[in-house]
Chain A
């Protein structure tokens, strides 16, 4: 099958067109030996099908960011075969800058054709483009297409069968060799002279192609930006947008998460009824399906948050967020561009770490990656919810604030503050000298394209499902084994005790048996083993087990606690666990064992500790070694331990 690559500047409508043409046939694939993903899809043509490849938008082939380099490696055929043809996407409102890329790519001699977008906007701005002249100058077929509407989409499809090796606008000897050498990291001299010469040659083309431009550049975007970048209003808008984002996620994700939980509940009941009782059935039900449920239940939150961020990105707002935050970000060693991965970190660290590829500066990219896991991701939320509702009555107020939402908000803010502190520290200890760069196009505002946003949010969800999913399911199976098997003598003892309880006719006998067995199991032994280390934080051995199981994914905490507290299957939710936990009394001081100090201490622990194996694995891929994941595990673990210790002891004085 023929491979055709779409090439264009950022914000030229390339991805929209790609979505229109390929629809549901899209798939992402890793280039061999890299973590960089390309999206491709199949387009059915009359005679044959073609594979269309969507490459990241770039301004020039001499690019340094990880995602931009992918375009170069594809075009010069470094990790894969060269594409059979290229389709340039040119933004009609911005022809000069778009033609720079064309002038470079044309020198590679790959057959090409060209799609002109935003021609209507250009017309409204009184820029008239002569298509025939453009066709003659470039020496390739040109079609006008509006990717956002259905008109003319056939033109784009026709163009996929029609490409020629075009004219070169500007000629530079040895261009391909220079490009290869630059790609491999060599310094190439005279690049800026070359670029200036290209622009001079482009100007000759533009003179023939743009027939009429009245020179008055109308743009509503500037009027909107007056508010969005205003010193007071702009910051207010930024915080309002972020608040709306999170409220939106909680509000929208609630129902689908409920459906998933109910669906799995129903499914497990059905398994209970159909499978013969016994160890293997338990394994299927509690080992495998609980793991799968633990993965799927996050999809709504992650999808919705990335969908909403996608709307903001596609409309053009996120770039403004980068613009207004750059000054602060720069001071702490980050970049305005870091804002998108950081906000994404509230959904899931895995795709957000991947999203740092747009940051060119290696140091800034690394530091962004390192602090992303401190953003409270969606897996921490159920833990926070359980602990808060466990220890703090809904009606209580701390000063003027409702205590429950005060603690929840503080947990999120604690993550942000510690992230800022660590960014400063990492920046201080990182001595690599590389000039920081901002240079960011502020694209025209547009209404976001839902289809594009959905498909991109889904790609991010998929990276969570594939990266975290397999780890969570495997660990869930291991945990099942650890909590169902144990040293023989201990297990026998638990069984005989359980029999006595059963003989006494206690209504809770099944749950008591489960709890006794768990205590006797390997998991119970591990919990008891680490108990001395976590007693200063206010935790008992049961919490210890839950802490360990949380390494699969933090929310496994909730499931583990529900098993440990013998909640009946039909009451296996936050309320059921809460009732059981609240009844426990600390024998040494007569206070509730799982009171406010316990809850706050544990919230701090979860906010900071790097308890996610999948995040570590992705970080290893992106940084190329285990150094940083392992370092962060200990650094953030240490901070988690110390702050939990401090929180427990301080709150113990008051509650």
Chain B
């Protein structure tokens, strides 16, 4: 249940469930990382950090330490 965004499998669809409350919450929320939004891990920089995610319909680069603040749940597969 408590998966954070830095631990996602590549190219698998998840849904943001909550954000950890801290200084970064506001910035993440502004960038569209809000509960209910689809999130997918796409690729990483050399060394595995930062990580590029697809948030809704755009690509966002986050450091591992920043991605830790996003809680996710596996997305419901729509048909």
Contact A125 B30 (CB under 8 A): no
- Closest residue of chain B to A436 (Cβ to Cβ) is B63
Contact A225 B23 (CB under 8 A): no
Scoring A residues 224 to 264 as 1 if CB is less than 8 Å from chain B, else 0, what string do you get?
01100111101100000000000000000000000000000
Known: A192-B25, A323-B45, A323-B52. A439 touches B31 (CB 8 A): yes
Q: Are B42 and A235 in contact (CB under 8 A)?
A: no
Q: Are B56 and A222 in contact (CB under 8 A)?
A: no
Count how many pairs of residues, one from A and one from B, have CB atoms less than 8 Å apart in the complex.
118
* A326 to B64 CA separation, bound complex (whole angstroms): 12
Please report which residues of chain B, range 28-79, place their CB below 8 angstroms from some CB of chain A when the two chains form the complex: 28-32, 34-36, 42-47, 49-50, 52, 54, 56-63, 66, 78
Complex CA distance for A357 and B25, rounded to whole angstroms: 23
Q: Is the CB of A435 within 8 A of B35?
A: no
Answer yes or no: A221 CB below 8 A from chain B CBs: yes
In the complex the two chains form, is B31's CB within 8 Å of A97's CB? yes
A438 touches B24 (CB 8 A): no
In contact, A440 and B45 (Cβ under 8 angstroms): no
User: How far apart are A202's CB and chain B's nearest CB, in angstroms?
Assistant: 9
Known contacts: A195-B30, A199-B29, A222-B43. The answer to whether A441 contacts B61 by CB under 8 A is: yes
Query: Is B19 an interface residue, CB under 8 A from the partner?
Result: yes
Distance (whole angstroms) from the CB of B9 to the closest CB of chain A: 16
* Contact in complex: A221, B59 (CB < 8 Å): yes
B contacts with A, residue count (CB < 8 A):
35
**CB contact list, A419-459 vs B, under 8 A:** 435, 437-444
Q: Does A530 contact B (CB under 8 A)?
A: no
Q: Is A327 an interface residue (CB 8 A)?
A: yes
CB distance from A223 to the nearest CB of B (A): 10
Q: Is the CB of A441 within 8 A of B58?
A: yes
Tell me the A546-578 residues at the B interface (CB within 8 Å): none
Q: Verify B23–A435 contact, CB threshold 8 A.
A: yes
CB neighbours (8 Å) of A326 from chain B are 45, 49-50, 61, 63
Tell me whether A62 and B26 are in contact in the complex, defined as CB-CB below 8 angstroms, given that A97-B58, A235-B46 are known contacts. Answer: yes
Q: Which residues of B contact A327 (CB under 8 A)?
A: 45-47, 49-50
Q: How far is the CA of A97 from the CA of B31 in the complex (A)?
A: 7
Assess whether A192 is in contact with B52, with CB atoms less than 8 Å apart. Answer: no
Of A60, A196, A319, A439, which contacts B62 at CB under 8 A?
A: A439
Partner of B54, one of A59, A93, A217: A217
Whether A438 contacts B62 in the complex (CB less than 8 A), given A96-B56, A234-B46, A235-B46, comes out as yes
CB-contacts of A295-353 with B (<8 A)? 319, 322-324, 326-327, 330, 336
Closest to A226 in B: B43
A505 contacts partner chain B, Cβ-Cβ < 8 Å: no
Question: Shortest Cβ distance from B57 into chain A, in angstroms?
Answer: 6
- Contacts A97-B31, A191-B26, A192-B19; A439 near B43 (Cβ below 8 A): no
User: Is A215 close to B, CB under 8 A?
Assistant: yes
List of B residues within 8 angstroms of A231 by Cβ:
46-47
Contact in complex: B66, A439 (CB < 8 Å):
yes
State A225–B47 Cα separation when bound (angstroms): 15
Give the shortest distance, in Å, between B24 (CB) and chain A (any CB).
Answer: 7
> CA of A437 to CA of B30 in the docked complex: distance in angstroms?
14
A127-B52 in contact (CB<8A)? no
Q: A127-B57, A435-B24, A439-B27 are in contact. Are A225 and B52 (CB under 8 A)?
A: yes
Chain A contributes a number of interface residues (CB within 8 A of B) equal to 46
- Please name all residues of chain A whose beta carbon is closer than 8 Å to the beta carbon of B24 when the two chains form the complex: 435, 437, 439
- A196 B35 Cβ-Cβ under 8 A: yes
Indicate if the CB atoms of B30 and A440 lie closer than 8 Å. no
Do B27 and A229 touch across chains, with their CB atoms under 8 A apart? no
Contact A440 B58, beta carbon cutoff 8 Å: no
Question: Smallest CB-CB separation from A188: which chain B residue?
Answer: B26
- When the two chains form their complex, are residues A439 and B58 in contact, meaning their CB atoms are under 8 A apart? no
B28→A439 contact, CB < 8 A: yes
Picked from A235, A323, A441, the residue with its CB within 8 Å of the CB of B50 is: A323
Contacts of A235 in B (CB 8 A): 46
Which A residues from 143 to 196 make CB contacts under 8 A with B?
191-192, 195-196
Instruction: Identify A94's interface contact among B58, B63, B66, CB under 8 A.
Output: B58
Chain A residues closer than 8 Å to B36, beta-carbon distance: 203
Q: Do B44 and A195 touch across chains, with their CB atoms under 8 A apart? A: no
Distance of A363 Cα from B54 Cα, bound (Å): 29
* In the bound complex, CA of A97 to CA of B60 (Å): 12
Task: Determine whether A106 belongs to the interface, using a CB cutoff of 8 Å to chain B.
Answer: no
The answer, among B19, B27, B50, B59, for a CB contact under 8 Å with A336, is B50
Residues of B within 8 A of A324 (CB): 45-46
Q: Are A59 and B30 in contact (CB under 8 A)?
A: yes
Contact of B27 among A215, A225, A437, A444 (CB under 8 A): A437
Contacts beyond the supplied A62-B26, A225-B59, A438-B66: 19 A-B pairs with Cβ under 8 Å: A60-B30, A93-B58, A97-B32, A192-B19, A192-B21, A192-B25, A195-B29, A229-B43, A323-B52, A324-B46, A326-B45, A327-B49, A435-B23, A437-B24, A438-B50, A438-B61, A441-B59, A441-B60, A442-B52
Binding site for B on A (CB under 8 A): 59-60, 62, 93-94, 96-97, 100, 125, 127, 191-192, 195-196, 199, 203, 215, 217, 219, 221-222, 225-226, 229-232, 234-235, 319, 322-324, 326-327, 330, 336, 435, 437-444
User: Can you give 25 contacting A-B residue pairs, CB < 8 Å?
Assistant: A62-B26, A62-B30, A94-B56, A94-B57, A94-B58, A96-B56, A97-B31, A97-B56, A195-B30, A199-B32, A199-B34, A217-B54, A225-B42, A225-B43, A225-B52, A225-B59, A229-B44, A229-B52, A231-B46, A234-B46, A323-B52, A324-B46, A437-B27, A439-B60, A440-B61
Chain B interface residues toward A at CB < 8 A: 19, 21, 23-32, 34-36, 42-47, 49-50, 52, 54, 56-63, 66, 78
